[in-house]
A and B are shown apart, each in its own frame.
Chain A
Amino acid sequence: MMTLFNANQIDRISDLPSNVIDVILGNLRIRDQVRTSILSTKWRYMWTSAPHLYFDDDFYQRFLVLDDPGAVVSKIITDVVMLHNGPIHKFSICIYADFDFKITTEDINLWIPFMSRDVKHLELVTHCVFKDPMPDILFSCKELTYFKCSSFILSIPPNFCGFEKLLELHLVCVEFESSALESLMSGCPFLEKLVIELCGDFEYLDISSPTLKVLLVKLEYDIKSICLKKAKNLVDFTLDANYNSLSGLIKSLPKIKRFSMLRGKKIPLADIIPPTLLTSSFSSLEYLKLDEFNLKERGELLYIVSVLKSAPRLIELTIRQVNMNIPMLLGLFLVLVYFDTSIFILQSDNNVDTIQVLDHSEELECSSWGGLKLQTVNIEVEARSQHAMSLIKLILANSPLLKTLTFNYSSEKLGAVMLFRISQDLLLMKRASPRAQVKFLCSTFPPFVW
């Protein structure tokens, strides 16, 4: 009986049924996958039944040295698709390495017929900015549950019968022909997640899908309004807007559980989420994240307080005063690290008053509050923010369930005395939760956290 376990040199993997080997092959990147055909005659065509095909930057980068890598890569993808023999469930092209690489209409018309009956997970993503109309053949992939595509002009063919099984849709750099998005959405009766990233040529976003749960909208261009009232089951909404006319953008919101505002441009929150929406839409809110929030303004502080009142079920709150523009952060980092040590010594006594001990007139009325449900709070500020301290005091005093409050303080100058005063203030604040941990972090550049 023991002989079976000394079988180190015996090849027991090759004899496994092909569906078992397919699971291993399905986890390999395309080059590794196809290279298995040289292992032995048994493996010669084994990869051709693997149900997943991934073409990514790791694959593409090997061809970057060529004059026309795109043409070579398209040819290889075509060869792989033609050689493949069996259902393709996942087909993914995600190539960001070359701005010139384009998936052409001809490519798609050649590849998709080999998989349109079976493909469930389809990604066609490049960095290319030149857009062609989305080939009609894509609309024939009826089994799709996940579809991500970029750089197309979306127009819906008249004979489109819908993506009856689609759960998740990502549109990146897609332009919409008039009412194309609405037609597409109405053909996806079970859609749960929609991501619209850097798409152009539309003024109004009116989402009415009743099954939608998660929505992420990343805007590079001005649009006039976002109306989500009819998406009644939406629970998670993320808005990432990189332009200035955010004011009045959100016209309606259903009752959501998670709201994230990335890159808020320090526009008053009341302009983005009008007080009338607060009471109707935030009553079930559990998670709130606000980036580029202007905590220097007292009006904003008071608005946050009214948000806390309108959102009695809030569990997690993140407020960032800084923006998460990573290249800029790196630049800052380089400059500031260089100066850091000398400034630290020179400035150590000069900044005592940057954050004052709380002035009693500034204190927020909080004794009459019921308990907040907050468990996790993250507040990140740049220098000089009395309001942040007031907010922390209010949260600590009214959150009996609080587990962790992280106060991340970043400034170009860090003085030892000033840091001591902040720590002292934090220590003195009354805490409603006996197990609350208060973490005070400081850095000389905007914190590098996601």
Chain B
Amino acid sequence: MAEEVSSQMNSLSISETNPSSSATISLVSGDDIVFKVEPTIAKEMETVQSFIDETDGKITTIPLPNISSHDLPYVIEYCEKSIAGKITKEFEAEFVKKLNNEEVKELFLAANYLNIKKLLDFLSQVIADRIANKSVEYVRRYFGIENDFTPEEEAKLREELAWTFTGVDPDDEDEN
């Protein structure tokens, strides 16, 4: 797993052991991979920054158990661009092209957990675009939602909200 990640992300220094560098911040993913980032990157992540602030900067290794080593590099990439003021429509279009539906969702959750407002807003738009004009069944599968309506309840609701159904895309598309 670690090797796979290093080959993907050669621009970032990655080590499996806990580093003792003082200038950089170490973010530890849920699967124990350490990502060293500049303190400015950490500032973009409100959750991380408040953790650093609370410990007066003494602790620079921050565990992020909810974020995998697969997703964290994307988050870091976005934050780097954001600091450099280089978030353009083109960059966002390229960025999102690389992501499948599952990754978009994971990153959305990560952005929420790390409290990165810009990334959260951007990914909300991406999710909205991906479920736009899709059937109820498609959106349930997309989010992994279990339908807990009784068939009667659902039928009644569908009848009440019939105006929201005309011309919905057929369900034959690949979900990812």
A residues contacting B by CB (< 8 A) are: 1-2, 4-5, 8-14, 16, 20, 23-29, 31-32, 34-43, 62-63, 72, 76
Tell me how far the C-beta of A359 lies from the nearest C-beta in chain B, rounded to whole angstroms.
46
Contact flag A28-B131 (CB < 8 Å), given A1-B31, A1-B32, A10-B144: yes
List 20 interface pairs A-B (beta carbons < 8 Å), by A numbering: A1-B65, A4-B66, A8-B102, A14-B143, A16-B112, A23-B124, A26-B124, A27-B128, A29-B132, A31-B133, A32-B132, A32-B133, A34-B161, A35-B161, A36-B139, A37-B161, A39-B139, A39-B140, A39-B147, A62-B166
Residues in A neighbouring B145, C-beta threshold 8 A: 11, 13-14, 39-40, 42-43
Does B5 count as interface, using CB distance less than 8 angstroms?
no
Selected from B102, B112, B133, B149, the residue in CB contact (under 8 A) with A20 is: B112
Residues of B within 8 A of A28 (CB): 128, 131-132
Q: How far is the CB of B151 from chain A (nearest CB, A)?
A: 12
| In the bound complex, CA of A20 to CA of B117 (Å) | 10
Please tell me which one of the listed residues A2, A25, A27 contacts residue B31 in the complex, with CB atoms under 8 A apart: A2
Whole-angstrom distance between the Cβ of B92 and the nearest chain A Cβ: 14
On whether A38 and B136 interact (CB within 8 A), knowing A4-B30, A27-B124, the answer reads yes
Closest B residue to A4 by CB, please name it.
Answer: B30
Q: Which residues of A are found within 8 Å of B70, using beta-carbon distances?
A: 5
- A2, A5, A38 pick with most chain B CB within 10 angstroms: A38
Contact of B124 among A24, A39, A63 (CB under 8 A): A24
Q: How far is the CA of A174 from the CA of B131 in the complex (A)?
A: 37
Task: Scan residues 129-176 of chain B and give those whose CB is less than 8 A from a CB of chain A.
Answer: 129, 131-134, 136, 139-140, 143-149, 154, 157-158, 161, 163-168
Measured CB to CB, the closest approach of chain B to A275, in angstroms, equals: 41
- Whether B109 is near chain A, meaning CB under 8 Å from some CB there, is yes
Question: How close is A56's CB to chain B, nearest CB, in angstroms?
Answer: 12
Most buried by B among A1, A24, A41: A24
Instruction: Fill in one digit per residue for B29-47: 1 if any A CB lies within 8 Å of its CB, else 0.
Output: 0111000000000000000
Among the listed B105, B132, B161, B164, which residue makes an inter-chain contact with A13, where contact means beta carbons less than 8 Å apart? B105
List of B residues within 8 angstroms of A5 by Cβ: 30-31, 68, 70, 106
Residues of B within 8 A of A27 (CB): 124-125, 127-129
Write out the residue numbers on chain A whose beta carbons fall within 8 Å of the beta carbon of B168. 35
A20, A42, A72 interface centre (most CB from chain B within 10 Å): A20
A13 touches B143 (CB 8 A): yes
CA distance A14 to B148 in the complex (A): 13
B14 in contact (CB, < 8 A): no
Confirm or deny: B77 has a beta carbon within 8 angstroms of a beta carbon on chain A: no
Provide the residues of chain A in CB contact with B127, threshold 8 Å.
24, 27
Of the listed residues B120, B134, B145, B166, the one surrounded by the most CB atoms of chain A closer than 10 A to its CB is B145
Q: A14–B108 Cα gap in the complex (Å)?
A: 13
Are B120 and A20 closer than 8 Å at their CB atoms? yes
A12 touches B109 (CB 8 A): yes
Interface flags for B93-116 (1: CB within 8 Å of A; 0: not) read 000000000100110110010000
A38–B121 touching, CB < 8 Å: no
Q: Which of B112, B124, B136 contacts A35 (CB 8 A)?
A: B136
Among residues of A, the one whose C-beta sits closest to the C-beta of B131 is: A32
Per the bound structure, the CA–CA distance linking A28 and B124 in Å amounts to: 9
For A41, give its contact among B30, B132, B148, B158 (CB under 8 Å): B148
- Partner of B149 from the list A14, A31, A38 (CB cut-off 8 Å) is A38
Out of A13, A26, A38, name the residue touching B154 (CB < 8 Å). Answer: A38
Task: Give complex CA distance A63, B136 in Å.
Answer: 21
A-chain residues with CB within 8 Å of residue B158 when the two chains form the complex: 38
B149 contacts which chain A residues (CB < 8 A)?
38, 40-41
Give the residues in chain A near B108, CB-CB below 8 Å.
13
Q: Complex Cα distance A5/B125, Å? A: 23
Among residues of B, the one whose C-beta sits closest to the C-beta of A63 is B163
Query: What 6 pairs across the A-B complex have the smallest Cβ distances?
Result: A27-B128, A11-B144, A35-B164, A23-B124, A5-B68, A31-B164
Complex formed: what's the CA distance from A16 to B110 in Å? 12
Taking CB as reference atom, which chain A residue is nearest B32?
A: A1
Contact A62 B163 (CB under 8 A): yes
* Min CB–CB distance B162 → chain A (angstroms): 10
Bound-complex Cα distance A125 to B164 (A): 22
Additional A-B contacts beyond A27-B127, A42-B145 (19; CB < 8 A): A1-B30, A1-B32, A5-B30, A5-B31, A5-B70, A11-B146, A14-B145, A16-B109, A16-B112, A23-B120, A23-B124, A31-B164, A34-B164, A38-B149, A38-B157, A39-B140, A39-B143, A40-B140, A72-B163
CB distance from A312 to the nearest CB of B (A): 30
Tell whether, in the assembled complex, residue A37 and residue B124 are in contact, meaning their CB atoms are under 8 Å apart.
no
Residues of B within 8 A of A40 (CB): 140, 145-149
Closest chain-A Cβ to B9's Cβ sits at a distance in Å of 17
Residue of B nearest to A39 (CB): B145
- How distant is B127 from chain A, measured CB to nearest CB, in Å? 5
Across the interface, A4 reaches (CB within 8 A) one of B65, B131, B136, B146, namely B65
Residues of A within 8 A of B146 (CB): 11, 40
How many Å lie between the Cα of A29 and that of B128 in the bound state? 9
Which residue in chain B gives the minimum CB-CB distance to A41?
A: B148
Interface string of B66-79 (1 = CB under 8 A from A): 10101000000000
CB nearest neighbor in A for B142: A13
Given that A23-B120, A38-B157 are contacting pairs, would A8 and B144 also be in contact in the complex, using a CB cutoff of 8 Å? yes
Which residue on A lies nearest to B117, using beta carbons? A23
Across-interface contacts of B106 in A (CB, < 8 A): 5
Tell me the nearest residue of chain B to A13, going by C-beta: B143
Output the nearest chain A residue to B147 by Cβ-Cβ distance.
A40
Cβ of B136: which chain A residues have Cβ within 8 Å of it?
A: 35, 38-39
